[in-house]
Amino acid sequence: MSRSKKSRSGGNTDVIVVRNRTQSDVEGRLRKKDKKRKGLKTGTRNSEAKEQKLRAAGEKRDPRIGSKKKIPLVVETPKKASKQERRLSAEKELEILENDAQLLVLLERIENGEKLGAGLQRTVDEKLDRIEVLMKQLGIYEEEVEEEQEEIEVQPVKKAKKAPASEDELLSQFENLDLNDFKG
């Protein structure tokens, strides 16, 4: 940037002085401008004191004070649902699970021989287990009866009338024990 300045030396001749500003001149002017703005802003005495009070109050303030959440003065025990209400809710839940579109699609895919991922298989298993629990609760679950099911007969164990007093009596009871009583 060049600046031209006319001089006023006498006579008809006008002399033009050309002045070039260097980078250092520009930086010097900016430094001088910044020096003039040194110091605090007007009114800082009042505003700083208020800010410090607010900060101190904010740090010491209990977060529970001023809460708008209502606190019940009397604690009411939750009313337990009657047997009929539980049955109705179980029936509704069972109906929702049986009509679940996602479950039906996944079961259809399994029937077609597709292998589901671990997440989908887990979802199907959880829903089927829940259906089974609800059906047992409602009394409509029919277990598959196995023909080769073996029943174990439990024989009552003879109870001792009085506790043995010494180690010798315990040893004699152990030696006289008939193991055929425990075979099934």
CA distances from 118 to 77, 109, 132, 168, 179 (A): 42, 14, 21, 61, 49
Q: Report the candidate in 141, 120, 118 with the shortest Cα–Cα distance to residue 130.
A: 141
Q: Specify the higher pLDDT residue, 87 or 54.
A: 87
What mean pLDDT is predicted for residues 124-143? 86
* Residue 97 identity: L
- Per-residue confidence (pLDDT) for residue 89, from 0 to 100: 85
Residue-level length of the chain: 184
Lowest mean per-residue pLDDT among 70-84, 88-102, 113-127: 70-84
Cβ atoms 116, 106 nearer than 8 A: yes
Maximum distance among all Cα pairs of the chain, rounded to whole angstroms:
150
Helix count and strand count (H, E) for the chain? 6, 2
Cβ atoms 158, 176 nearer than 8 A: no
Predicted confidence band at 153 (pLDDT cuts at 50, 70, 90)? very low
Q: What percent of the chain has pLDDT over 90?
A: 11
Which residues, other chains included, contact 127 with Cβ-Cβ below 8 Å and sequence gap of 6+?
97, 100, 103
Distance CA(123)–CA(102), nearest Å, equals 10
Q: What percent of the chain has pLDDT over 70?
A: 65
Phi, psi of 20, rounded to the nearest 5 degrees: -100, 135
Q: Report the candidate in 101, 130, 137, 107 with the shortest Cα–Cα distance to residue 120.
A: 107
The ranges assigned to domains in the chain are: 84-138
- Per-residue confidence (pLDDT) for residue 181, from 0 to 100: 77
Does the pTM surpass 0.85? The reply is: no
Do the bridges between strand 2-6 and strand 16-20 make them parallel or antiparallel, or are there none, so unpaired? Answer: antiparallel
Distance CA(102)–CA(95), nearest Å, equals 14
Predicted confidence band at 108 (pLDDT cuts at 50, 70, 90)? very high
148: exposed, middle or buried (Cβ count in 10 Å: 0-12, 13-18, 19+): exposed
